[in-house]
Structure 1
Amino acid sequence: MNLAQLNDLPVDEATHTFMQCCTSAAWVSGMVQARPFADKQDLETKADTAWQGLTEADYLEAFEGHPQIGNVDTLRAKYANTKELASGEQSSVSEATEQVIESLAQGNADYLEKFGFIFIVCATGKSAAQMVALLQARLPNDKATELANAAEEQRKIFHLRLEKLI
């Protein structure tokens, strides 16, 4: 798809397309309404603008669109709606040792228990061991700090997906 095609999509198709990038209904609505996009930079700027100032509930809704890092079964089954643009984002997890996978699973459980939402990280280009290290580094944070960290990681993810889209 190119930018002109994205700009010309009917609202329902544009909604579905942006939902592939981020599952926050408020962000998707903002992106659909922000069309037309003059160029790639305009798309990126409007994506950030739509993301800024969302509520905690909006961010949590976006996080729900992700599987837990390392949970490949969940990736395949529960989150098929984003699989087109999410493919390859966790590919390094499948290459990890059993010990690293177990550490990732335990860290994810600890994170979810502490913060009430799953660990969000832009996994592209990171090994499973690097994700374990990032998870462990973020676990001591307070909830407000971690919500901001996760929101920034989500922003990176939707930018990568927009890049794949265009």
Structure 2
Amino acid sequence: MSLTLAQFNNLSQEVAIAQLLICCTSSVWANKIANARPFADFDALLANSDAIWDEVQTNEANLLEAFDGHPQIGNVASLKEKYRNTQDSAAHEQSGANDAADDVLEALAKGNQDYLDKFGFIFIVFATGKSAQQMLDLLLARLPNDRATELANAAAEQNKITRLRLSKLLGNA
């Protein structure tokens, strides 16, 4: 569903919150954004979203609620489906690339489970435009971090995802 900003500003509170929860499943964030309406323009919405997210992310329960809105990338079959048609423009076609891709997907599934086991929440990353190998590299780079660092990293990635979803909701993407 794509809305104009005027339509979004005029939604009932209940419907606005429901639309916002599609962008980010933090109920505190969604309620605060809905209460901050009307917005003069899309940039004002994003600025408010960023400011409210800065407040919301100080509470771990709010973060975990937002993270729970993402599916866990842990199933090799679902990873294969996700990346089946993804092509990195810099990649060179080589024999055995399909086998390498399966290895990457299996490593990504294992890494995601290792991440969940270590931190207690799923690996959150702004995945748009990233290949499976890039995702794996990011996951492996973040896995040695402590939990506080990863909460902050995941919160920053969540905000990028939320901004993209707001853009899509309002037809700006």
TM-score, normalised with respect to structure 2: 0.82
* Alignment gaps of 5+ in structure 2: 87-100
Which has more radius of gyration? Answer: 2
Q: Percent identity?
A: 56
1:165 matched to 2:155? The reply is: no
Match of 1:16 in 2: 18
Contact 1:92 1:126 (C-alpha < 8 Å) held by counterparts: no
Q: CA deviation at 1:29?
A: 0.6
Cα RMSD (Å): 2.1
Q: CA deviation at 1:71?
A: 4.1
1:6 matched to 2:12? The reply is: no
Of structures 1 and 2, the one scoring higher in RCO (CA 8 A, sep 6+) is 2
Given the alignment, which residue of 112, 125, 128 partners 1:124?
A: 128
Given the alignment, which residue of 27, 31, 34 partners 1:25?
A: 27
Q: CA deviation at 1:49?
A: 1.3
Given the alignment, which residue of 43, 46, 54 partners 1:41?
A: 43
AA aligned to 2:102 is E
* Alignment gaps of 5+ in structure 1: 76-89
Query: Per the alignment, in what secondary structure is the counterpart of residue 111 of structure 2?
Result: helix
TM-score, normalised with respect to structure 1: 0.85
CA distance in 2, matches of 1:125, 1:91: 15
CA distance in 2, matches of 1:108, 1:66: 13
Q: CA deviation at 1:69?
A: 2.9
AA aligned to 2:142 is R
AA aligned to 2:20 is F
Contact 2:74 2:110 (C-alpha < 8 Å) held by counterparts: no
Number of aligned pairs?
Answer: 152
Given the alignment, which residue of 69, 73, 98 partners 2:102?
A: 98
